């Protein structure tokens, strides 16, 4: 009557509504449910091979609830008498599911994969399901299960209206492009909004106007119920715009399923999700020949072996064809700050070895998108195991300063360089027009190389890409007005980037994340068990090296490395992960100690002490001090013992090298080491408490305002003295912390020791509180030094810049120090298993415990009776034994008094052997190069590897002389000698270098 409106702002909402209505027409569900039988849900997960022996009961009524949180069950679906050709299955259950045929997983159902194609001539299907669901990335709403369990509403056959499906994809892509161009060039926001004032599109880019104008007749056809004609018209528009994409940046799509092996679910559910996600990827490869998928964690292949072994040959076949790419060099996506250096190194070693065994070649890419900062030693480890390239996304989460690069050369603190690419889009990408624009627009080095990497698929809970993403990618491949995109391999993307290596910027040192600072402390019991497991395996390997027994079994190492996963050791998973994980780590620790003792013990012999460390260890008793050579077994009574006395009373403790006085609160009022008084600005070892209620992520975060509002405890202490006038003395101060609990702080001094041991027996009682130990000093050097897995890291401690202020809580691998700029006079804190430190204008502090809210699983309600959930539960209430030491920091101190050495020697106690024979150390002697610290002994078939790391940023030469009957050779990190064995070795080292020496027996 009046013709079309020339004002396109009124056309846009109509087209958006047309798309919304059209999506409802795509899937036509057969209302007759399929017959389904179910096995009994169980907490323990079973492999698919066990499904045939289970008892099944028919489900007669829906909705049907089953299981407790994370339970597993199997369903059998009867398709007999139904035509399945060209049809789809709809599985309506809150739990995630994987469909099997003859033991082979076909695909999975989850919020991102609601419909899946049925095989031809299919009569029965087996469905494995878990009572667990995630998927906030799909709907934007909470996902979970009902209070009664997972709600099953039936299995149905579904037909797809292919015209409506294709038209919906076309409209989604075309409107996405048009709306993005409108928002980019006008003041209009949310152009498809159907209510309120609508700003005009007069200044919109011409392509956006064309798309809206040409799609209005498509909407007319849909309203007239002529969807096939509408689909033909939209397809013609897409074809007319094809071949005209913007060439400035091409997005290289790689299918991915960022899979958290544990997080909102326990490991058994993560194993399920691995099978589920890989099956989805292989299914898409059959339907979309251009589709390429990348995965990063060999631990998931072990899970597939256990649960669905028929899937692994299919994956290997796609790997050979180049369609399935393994892009992760470490066994899991590891946290890179909390593991000790050797543990982090083994993540590479185990991961690369597994890939060679499975696929014939290692990975050239380290893929860790979601982890809380990247240690400066990582490039050196990468290079040592043949890994050239690194990918992440997490850096764009930093809260204070913006990381300046997307493509760059990352130089570790030793100078080793790897190529790195950072995406600023996270790890849930649906291949929508707006994300296609985003990847290109945020590629900061587009002027150097014209490709950006765009991981595509649903992550966190896995699942991976779906068919709709592949369809959108086809339309966006070369569409006018949009960046070009195509599927591609990750390693080939980096190979092309490497051609422009010399033109890329350089980032040197760690990649610091200004967020999630609480993960260094959350779940202190877990971190203590993790560190104990490291010590247990260290002792076990040292014992094998000492007696020439060869390498230990890999399985304990795999389990320890598994705990490196970036939502495991940081303490950000649900409680069940730690209910299962802590006992396992404790068993690894005890098993390592027991195996070490058994290896070096004899049926008869003297009482002996075994020192498993590559450093000498001093053992103080009340009778004297015994020094044990590195890697040796020494008679307990026959060892050389020196006598020196420590005097103690209720306010002081004094030894030959260290003297300390204490105030009435049990704090250190005065500390003198080797005749030099520590420059304190107040009592040392103050205990401070803070209300710890982060703005967003309780388990992950310590906020800046938290540390600005704490208070020191002022209660006085009761003192008890033990050991006055002997070689070992201690003073215990017991204090009432009010509502927070009770603590006994015990200071122990060993004769001739330059450090004061501090042990806290803590009963922590109050939720959402953070406890710190603070040492205010006058050491005002520009930087403080923090331990790293290998080496150390300098970070600013003086205010003045936004980046410095953002470093109020820092990762430290068990030690930190403040000093004057010369680093010849300062204070160090060395701990057994603490990792969260901070320093501000000389005040060095360490986080002891935080009772943060425990991460909860996704449930459909705020409370639940499903399984072991407790709303409002917090971590680490109860008893803790916290061990650390305080001493003077001087970079010119002898090797065995460097903080990196003390972090091992102070807290790895010699193993007492009831019966053994003395064994002389096969360790080479070290001369000079005091900052080059031995870190680990790894047994080999003909000797052992000695791992050393430079810890203070110095260069020099260390001379190693072989023990009798052994020879030395420099070696690669995996342990291959690079020169002929010899009796002595001059090791020239550079700052923060990691060195390996192969020690072979004659």
Query: How confident is the model over 569-597, as pLDDT tens digits?
Result: 999 999 999 999 999 999 999 999 999 99
The pLDDT score that the predictor gives to residue 865 is 37
The pLDDT score that the predictor gives to residue 630 is 97
The pLDDT score that the predictor gives to residue 920 is 94
CA distance 157 to 223: 27
Q: How confident is the model at residue 145 (pLDDT cuts 50, 70, 90)?
A: confident
CA distance 687 to 848: 9
Q: How far is CA 637 from CA 483, 542, 615, 645, in A?
A: 76, 23, 21, 19
Q: How confident is the model at residue 138 (pLDDT cuts 50, 70, 90)?
A: low
The candidate with the shortest Cα–Cα distance to 844, out of 859, 834, 832, is: 834
Greatest CA separation for the chain: 110
Share the mean pLDDT of the chain: 94
CA distance 105 to 309: 10
- Percent of the residues in the chain that have a pLDDT greater than 90, as a whole number: 88
Token pair for 536: 């247990």
Q: How confident is the model at residue 144 (pLDDT cuts 50, 70, 90)?
A: confident
In DSSP notation, 886-949 reads: EEEE-TTS-GGGSHHHHHHHTTSPPEEEEEE--B---PPEEES-TTEEEEEEEEETTEEEEEEE
The pLDDT score that the predictor gives to residue 461 is 83
The candidate with the shortest Cα–Cα distance to 708, out of 903, 583, 840, is: 840
The candidate with the shortest Cα–Cα distance to 937, out of 384, 383, 546, 592, is: 546
CA distance 669 to 681: 10
CA distance 834 to 525: 10
The pLDDT score that the predictor gives to residue 624 is 81
The pLDDT score that the predictor gives to residue 726 is 85
The pLDDT score that the predictor gives to residue 644 is 80
The pLDDT score that the predictor gives to residue 4 is 81
The pLDDT score that the predictor gives to residue 198 is 84
CA distance 348 to 328: 9
With beta carbons less than 8 A apart as the criterion, state whether 77 and 36 touch.
yes
- pTM for this structure? 0.96
- For residue 874, the 8-state DSSP code is B
Residue 797 has pLDDT above 80, yes or no: yes
Contacts of 236 (CB under 8 A, 6+ apart): none
The pLDDT score that the predictor gives to residue 863 is 38
Token pair for 534: 């490291």
| Gap between the terminal Cα atoms of the chain | 101
Token pair for 632: 């040796």
CA distance 734 to 716: 8
pLDDT tens per residue, range 85-109: 999 999 999 999 999 999 999 999 9
pLDDT tens per residue, range 819-836: 999 999 999 999 999 999
The pLDDT score that the predictor gives to residue 120 is 87
pLDDT tens per residue, range 717-729: 999 999 888 889 9
CA distance 650 to 979: 58
Token pair for 967: 């020879």
pLDDT tens per residue, range 15-71: 999 999 999 999 999 999 999 999 999 999 999 999 999 999 999 999 999 999 999
CA distance 104 to 567: 30
Work out the average pLDDT over 519-530.
98
Residue 642 has pLDDT above 80, yes or no: no
The pLDDT score that the predictor gives to residue 196 is 81
670 beta partners: 661
Work out the average pLDDT over 598-604.
95
Work out the average pLDDT over 768-772.
98
Q: How confident is the model at residue 867 (pLDDT cuts 50, 70, 90)?
A: very low
Residue 136 has pLDDT above 80, yes or no: no
720 beta partners: 732
The pLDDT score that the predictor gives to residue 140 is 55
The pLDDT score that the predictor gives to residue 868 is 43
Contacts of 963 (CB under 8 A, 6+ apart): 920, 921, 922, 923, 924, 925
Q: If residue 994 lies in a helix (H) or strand (E), which one and from where to where?
A: strand 994-1001
The pLDDT score that the predictor gives to residue 862 is 38
The pLDDT score that the predictor gives to residue 864 is 39
How many residues are there in the chain?
1002
Work out the average pLDDT over 875-900.
97
Q: How far is CA 552 from CA 380, 651, 971, 977, in A?
A: 25, 48, 20, 20
CA distance 443 to 424: 8
Work out the average pLDDT over 608-615.
97
- Alpha-carbon torsion (130, 132, 137, 139), positive or negative: positive
pLDDT tens per residue, range 432-445: 999 999 999 999 99
SS3 of 59-100: the string is CCCCCEEECCCCCEEEEEEECCCCCCCCCEEEEEECCEEEEE
pLDDT tens per residue, range 985-1001: 999 999 999 999 999 99
Residue 846 has pLDDT above 80, yes or no: yes
The candidate with the shortest Cα–Cα distance to 571, out of 560, 583, 581, is: 581
Residue with the larger pLDDT of the pair 357 and 642: 357
The candidate with the shortest Cα–Cα distance to 506, out of 638, 412, 619, 385, is: 412
CA distance 633 to 597: 11
- Helix (H/G/I), strand (E/B), else coil: 296: coil
């Amino acid at each position: 009557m009046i013709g079309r409106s020339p004002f396109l702002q009124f056309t846009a909402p109509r087209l958006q509504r047309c798309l919304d209505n059209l999506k409802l027409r795509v899937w036509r569900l057969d209302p007759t449910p399929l017959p389904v039988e179910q096995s009994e849900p169980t907490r323990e997960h079973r492999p698919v091979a066990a499904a045939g022996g289970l008892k099944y009961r028919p489900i007669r009524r829906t909705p049907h609830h089953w299981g407790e949180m994370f339970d597993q069950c199997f369903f059998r679906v009867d398709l007999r008498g139904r035509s399945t050709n060209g049809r789809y299955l709809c599985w309506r259950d809150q739990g995630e599911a994987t469909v099997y045929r003859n033991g082979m997983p076909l695909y999975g159902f989850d919020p991102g994969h609601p419909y899946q194609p049925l095989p031809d001539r299919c009569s029965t299907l087996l469905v494995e399901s878990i009572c667990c669901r995630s998927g906030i990335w799909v709907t934007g709403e909470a996902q979970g299960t009902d209070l009664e369990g997972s709600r099953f509403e039936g299995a149905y056959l579904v037909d797809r209206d292919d015209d409506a499906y294709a038209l919906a994809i076309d409209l989604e892509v075309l409107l996405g492009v048009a709306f993005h161009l409108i928002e980019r060039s006008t003041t209009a926001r949310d152009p498809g909004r159907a209510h309120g004032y609508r700003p005009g599109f007069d200044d919109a880019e011409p392509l956006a106007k064309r798309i809206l104008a040409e799609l209005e007749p498509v909407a007319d056809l849909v309203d007239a119920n002529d969807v096939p004609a509408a689909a033909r018209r939209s397809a013609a528009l897409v074809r007319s715009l094809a071949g005209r994409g913007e060439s400035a940046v091409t997005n290289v799509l790689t299918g991915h399923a960022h899979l958290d092996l544990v997080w909102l679910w326990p490991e058994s559910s993560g194993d399920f999700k691995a099978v589920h996600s890989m099956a989805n990827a292989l299914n898409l490869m059959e339907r979309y020949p251009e589709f390429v998928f990348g995965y990063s964690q060999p631990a998931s292949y072990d899970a597939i072996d256990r649960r669905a072994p028929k899937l692994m040959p299919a994956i290997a076949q796609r790997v050979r064809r180049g369609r399935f790419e393994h892009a992760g060099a470490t066994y899991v996506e590891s946290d890179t700050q909390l593991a000790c250096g050797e543990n982090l190194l083994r993540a590479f070693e185990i991961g690369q070895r597994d890939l060679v065994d499975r696929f014939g070649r290692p990975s050239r890419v380290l893929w860790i998108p979601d982890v809380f900062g990247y240690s400066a030693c990582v490039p050196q480890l990468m290079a040592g195991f043949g890994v050239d390239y690194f990918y992440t996304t997490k850096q764009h989460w930093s809260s204070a300063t913006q990381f300046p690069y997307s493509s760059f050369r990352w130089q570790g603190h030793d100078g080793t360089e790897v190529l790195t690419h950072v995406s600023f889009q996270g790890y849930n990408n649906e291949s929508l027009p707006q994300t296609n624009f985003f990847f290109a627009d945020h590629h900061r080095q587009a002027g150097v190389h014209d490709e950006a990497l765009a991981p595509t698929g649903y992550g966190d809970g896995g699942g991976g890409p779906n068919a709709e993403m592949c369809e959108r990618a086809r339309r966006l491949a070369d569409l006018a007005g949009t960046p070009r995109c195509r599927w591609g391999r990750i390693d080939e993307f980096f190979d092309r980037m490497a051609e422009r290596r010399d033109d890329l910027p350089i980032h040197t040192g760690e990649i610091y994340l200004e967020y999630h600072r609480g993960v260094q402390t959350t779940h202190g019991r877990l971190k203590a068990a993790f560190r104990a497991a490291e010590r247990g395996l260290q002792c076990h390997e040292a014992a094998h090296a000492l007696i020439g027994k060869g390498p230990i079994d890999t399985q304990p190492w795999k389990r320890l490395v598994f705990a490196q996963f970036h939502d495991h050791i940081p303490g950000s998973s649900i409680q069940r992960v730690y209910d299962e994980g802590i006992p396992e780590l404790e068993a690894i620790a005890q098993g390592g100690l027991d195996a070490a003792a058994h290896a070096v013990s004899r049926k008869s012999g003297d009482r002996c002490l075994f020192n498993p460390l590559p450093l000498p260890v001093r053992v103080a008793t009340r009778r004297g001090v015994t020094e044990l050579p590195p890697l040796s077994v020494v008679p307990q009574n026959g060892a050389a013992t020196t006598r020196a006395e420590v005097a103690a009373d209720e306010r002081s403790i004094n030894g030959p090298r260290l003297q300390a006085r204490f105030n009435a609160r049990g704090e250190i009022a005065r500390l003198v080491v080797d005749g030099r008084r520590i420059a304190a600005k107040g009592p040392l070892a103050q205990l401070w408490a803070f209300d710890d209620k982060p703005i967003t992520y309780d388990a992950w975060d310590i906020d800046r305002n938290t540390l600005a509002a704490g208070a020191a405890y002022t209660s006085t202490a009761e003192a008890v003295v033990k050991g006055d006038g002997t070689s070992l003395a201690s003073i215990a101060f017991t204090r009432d912390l009010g509502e927070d609990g009770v603590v006994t702080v015990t200071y122990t001094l060993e004769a001739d020791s330059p450090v004061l041991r501090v042990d806290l027996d803590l009963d922590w009682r109050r939720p959402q509180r953070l406890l710190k130990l603070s040492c205010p000093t006058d050491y005002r050097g520009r930087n403080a030094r923090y331990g790293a897995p290998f080496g150390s890291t300098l970070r600013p401690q003086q205010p003045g810049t936004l980046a410095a202020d953002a470093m109020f809580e820092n990762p430290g691998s068990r030690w930190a120090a403040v000093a004057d700029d010369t680093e010849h006079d300062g204070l160090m804190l060395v701990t057994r298993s603490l990792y969260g430190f901070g320093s501000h204008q000389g005040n060095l502090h360490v986080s002891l415990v935080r009772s943060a809210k425990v991460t909860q699983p996704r449930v459909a309600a705020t409370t639940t009776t499903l399984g072991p959930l407790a709303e409002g539960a917090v971590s680490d209430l109860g008893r803790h034994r916290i061990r650390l030491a305080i001493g003077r920091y001087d970079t010119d101190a002898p090797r065995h008094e460097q903080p990196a050495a003390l972090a091992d020697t102070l807290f790895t106690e010699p193993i007492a052997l009831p019966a053994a024979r003395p064994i002389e150390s096969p360790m080479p002697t070290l001369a000079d190069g005091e900052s080059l610290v031995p870190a680990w002994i790894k047994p080999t078939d003909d000797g052992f590897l000695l791992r050393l790391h430079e810890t203070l940023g110095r260069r020099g030469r260390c001379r190693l002389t072989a023990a009798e009957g052994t020879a030395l050779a420099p070696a690669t990190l995996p342990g291959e000698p690079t020169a002929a064995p010899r009796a002595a070795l001059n090791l020239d080292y550079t700052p923060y270098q990691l060195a390996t020496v192969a020690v072979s027996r004659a």
